[in-house]
Amino acid sequence: MPATPLARRRPISLQRAWLLAFGLGAAAPFAALAATDAPPAASGADVAVSSPAASLPAPRPGGPLAAPPRDDVPGGHPAMGIGFEALPYPYPVHFLALRNEGQDVRMAYMDVPPTTANGEPNAGARTIVLLHGKNFGGVYWENVIRHLTARGYRVIVPDQIGFGKSSKPELDYSFDLLARNTIALLDALQIAHADILGHSTGGMLAMRITLDYPSRVDRLLLEDPVGLEDYRRLETPQSTETLYRAQLNMTPDAYRNYVKGYFAHWSERFEAPLVAPYLSAMQSGEYPRLAKTAALTSQMIFQQPLVDELPDIAAPTLLIVGEKDRTAPGKAYARPDMKDRLGNFPALGRAAARAIPHCRLVVIPDVGHIAHWEAPNAFFSAVDDFLF
């Protein structure tokens, strides 16, 4: 269907936007938000897509920005809505209108073109889709976007429904549903096939897309993907209500410590981009809805294993794991005799590399669950060796 332009504001620097978003500069509108919601789809349409930006702001140099939290706001961070409207993204945000289980929802995404040596867009580029993990949105891919666009890739970065700037409906979440939404985005952007890079829960989704739509995936890249073991065999099932109450009652310190557990070596520079946005959303009047979405997507991971399908992945695959990663969704509910077995990513990676027919395994030493933050040089080296 024809693209519909979105209303835009003149972007400001991302550094300035971060300072504003976390109360470290003079009060001002968050002009870094590059787009408003797309208009509703025309009658009878299932999908509506915003037009790509005619020109994008140049990414700022250096790594992802980390501004310190404020001390004069309860919890250290000002309140933010669960749509994270005040959270600056590094590139313009568009919205794709979808219908999921009879509900009208909007899927946020960034569509970042590659650049040539003179900074002009490269029309003949390859495409890669980046799929975020459960506790994050696409914003945390900033350094990966910059790296890949500089090497000739068009980079598509969706916030899945239920995450980031996208809608947070209460529905029966499934990897099949999220896979269909992602394919709908590629269809709307007229992308026939692409490479896919998924991290954590995004890795599990990337595998599901590859299994369900093999002709759409050229190469599969996985960064510490969950789902390399069947959690139903290792954990005690929990009701959605139990998971919801645990999320709703989580304290800021508990959430911060949870994210710290992803890293072999925590740095305070990770606080603002990886912790602060969620702590701000916890102060929103809509936070219970975000907590419910978190519970429902936790059930999705637990109830929809795919480890037995790994031999059916046909695409050439790169599997990157951190040597010290011991992440396992629902680990708090592990059966006593299974707890020590959960989340051993080096062992899980070796088993997965044997099961996936065309898989290359890279174990990054002394690194936890988010290599593209904790050890970006080693991560990029592994990605470049595989893609180029």
Model confidence pLDDT, tens digit, residues 325-344: 999 999 999 988 888 889 99
d(Cα 68, Cα 77) in Å, to the nearest integer?
10
Look up the domain containing 168 and give its range: 14-387
Which pLDDT score is estimated for 377?
98
- List the CATH number of the domain containing 366: 3.40.50.1820
Establish if 24 belongs to a structural domain.
Answer: yes
Establish if 4 belongs to a structural domain.
Answer: no
pLDDT surpassing 50 at residue 125: yes
Query: How many domains does the chain divide into?
Result: 1
What's the average model confidence in pLDDT over 63-68? 39
What's the average model confidence in pLDDT over 239-243? 97
Establish if 7 belongs to a structural domain.
Answer: no
Output Rg (C-alpha) for the chain, integer angstroms.
Answer: 20
Rounding to the nearest 10 degrees, give the CA dihedral for residues 352, 355, 357, 362. 20
pTM of the predicted protein model:
0.83
40-44, 64-68, 165-169: segment of lowest average pLDDT:
40-44
46-55, 313-322, 350-359: segment of lowest average pLDDT:
46-55
Establish if 173 belongs to a structural domain.
Answer: yes
The tokens of 119 are what? 């900074």
The tokens of 288 are what? 């219970």
Establish if 50 belongs to a structural domain.
Answer: yes
Establish if 5 belongs to a structural domain.
Answer: no
Establish if 273 belongs to a structural domain.
Answer: yes
- Cα angle for residues 271, 294, 324 (degrees, 5° grid): 50
Establish if 6 belongs to a structural domain.
Answer: no
